[in-house]
Amino acid sequence: MLADARRPLVCLHYGIGDVIMQLPALEALKALRPDAQVTLLGALPALDLLQDDPHWHALESIQQWGLRHWGDKGDPHIRSAIATWLDRKNFDLILDVSHAVHAVRDTIWRNGRKILDTGTDMPLDGLNGVDAMKKAVRAAWGLPVARSAYPRLALDNDRMARAATALRTPSADRRIMVGISALASSFLKRWPIAHMAAVADALVERFNCQVVVFAGPQQAIAYEMVALMKSPPKPIMVSTLHLLDTAALLARCALLICNDTGIMHMSAAVGTPVVAVFGPTSAAIYLPPGAQHRGISSPSPCPYRKTQAFGPSQCLVLNRCLIDRNGCIDAVPLSTVLNNATQTLTERLEGKRHAAI
């Protein structure tokens, strides 16, 4: 069915990290059907991650119908507009409809389209998230996704040049760049910002590095973290940018220290190692694949943490820790994160020295 499709629609997963984890399947689809007119349907801003790849016939956002979140069922007017759009586009195959926003999903199912679907209950079978997605796509789509394929973001040359210019400051001259991000989709997934600041200070003292703070939309938290830092030079602040501009800046860094968020997956997808702190989510599932990436999990045992399935734990659904007043991520030792960051930077610097010989 997939081999014969000329106008397939791919329903992207919803979040930034989810879309990046889906990239190996999209790359395999391009390789199998280079001449097909593939349309990608997803949510902004995650959809923007595919903008620099010229292969896609069209990128369509769910926001065009006023849909606001994954569970949004819309109203009769919205569902009618989606049905009209589907009729006009006349897709001959739809992939992963169960991952579409509910209004889109329900409309497609009601219209009896040709569908290949991995489903939302993809088994992990002891695999990390990326490998589990690849296995599900091989089974459901019949698509030969290489087991060795990792997510990679396409960035155009102009974007990379702008990133190099943006980070060219007197204080950053010839320093290695270390990215720091306190971003988190929930306070339960945010390692204490005082710890982040302390790690940044220690790395500046040890490596004389230039800290790049990725603030995104949570600028108040980023500025609070910077205010806690004691070591010069002044950090470079990265505010809200197009996601691919942020990715280009990440590509200039030797390391990113972060929580379990979309920016973690973006960093790995441009080849920058991550040291990521995990609380109510599982590093075994969500840490990007590759030995260069390090995940530090909370030592606090938790019966609510999902370790065998995708999806948020119950504490994230309810937005409160179900065991005590403090979230489990607070128990991750500062020394463990610092040691992992130090080891990663040391390995990067030694690799550069060997390459120069």
Q: Which of 28-37, 170-179, 224-233, 316-325 has the lowest mean pLDDT?
A: 170-179
Domain ranges of the chain: 2-141, 157-356
Query: Which among 24, 52, 55 is positioned nearest to 242, based on CA atoms?
Result: 52
Contacts of 113 (CB under 8 A, 6+ apart): 86, 91, 93, 94, 97
pLDDT tens digits, one per residue of 192-219: 999 999 999 999 999 999 999 999 888 8
Note the pLDDT of residue 352: 63
pLDDT band at residue 355 under the 50/70/90 scheme = low
- For 295, list phi and psi in degrees, rounded to 5: -115, 130
Cα 276 to Cα 257: distance, rounded to the nearest angstrom: 6
Largest CA distance in the chain: 66
Q: What is the mean pLDDT of residues 273-301?
A: 95
Note the pLDDT of residue 216: 84
36 close to 95: Cβ distance less than 8 angstroms: no
Note the pLDDT of residue 113: 81
Burial 200-227 (b: 16+ CB within 10 A, else e): bbbbbeebebbbbbbbbebeebbeebbe
Query: pTM (2 decimals)?
Result: 0.93
Calculate what percentage of the chain has a pLDDT beyond 90: 79
Q: Is the pLDDT of residue 165 over 60?
A: yes
| Distance from the Cα of residue 266 to its chain's centroid | 5
Calculate what percentage of the chain has a pLDDT beyond 70: 96
> Mean pLDDT in the chain?
92
Q: Look up residue 284 and give its two tokens.
A: 């075994």
Q: For the chain, what is the total number of helices (H) and then of strands (E)?
A: 13, 11
Q: Reduce the DSSP state of residue 154 to 3 states and report it.
A: coil
Q: Reduce the DSSP state of residue 263 to 3 states and report it.
A: helix
CATH topology of domain 2-141: Rossmann fold (3.40.50)
Among 153-162, 166-175, 347-356, the range with the most confident prediction by mean pLDDT is: 153-162
The residues pairing with 258 across neighbouring beta strands, listed in sequence order, are: 276
Do 2-141 and 157-356 come out as alike in CATH topology?
A: yes
Residue with tokens 């982040």: 196
- DSSP notation for 77-137: HHHHHHHHHHHHHT-SEEE-GGGS-HHHHHHHHHTT--EE---S----TT--HHHHHHHHH
- CATH code of 157-356, in short, is 3.40.50.2000
pLDDT band at residue 16 under the 50/70/90 scheme = very high
Residue with tokens 């463990």: 336
Cα 245 to Cα 98: distance, rounded to the nearest angstrom: 30
Contacts for 56-64: CB closer than 8 Å, 24+ residues apart: 57/7, 62/100, 62/101, 62/103, 62/104
pLDDT band at residue 269 under the 50/70/90 scheme = very high
pLDDT band at residue 353 under the 50/70/90 scheme = low
Note the pLDDT of residue 123: 85
306 close to 313: Cβ distance less than 8 angstroms: yes
Note the pLDDT of residue 174: 66
Query: Which among 229, 172, 234, 225 is positioned nearest to 202, based on CA atoms?
Result: 229
pLDDT band at residue 357 under the 50/70/90 scheme = very low
Q: Which of 156-170, 212-226, 280-294 has the lowest mean pLDDT?
A: 156-170
Q: What is the mean pLDDT of residues 223-246?
A: 90
Contacts of 42 (CB under 8 A, 6+ apart): 11, 12, 13, 14, 19, 50, 59, 60, 61, 62
pLDDT tens digits, one per residue of 113-156: 899 999 988 889 899 999 999 999 999 999 999 989 999 999 99
Note the pLDDT of residue 356: 45
Q: Look up residue 234 and give its two tokens.
A: 């002044």
pLDDT tens digits, one per residue of 46-104: 999 999 999 999 999 999 999 999 999 999 999 999 999 999 999 999 999 999 999 99
| Distance from the Cα of residue 274 to its chain's centroid | 12
Cα 357 to Cα 348: distance, rounded to the nearest angstrom: 15
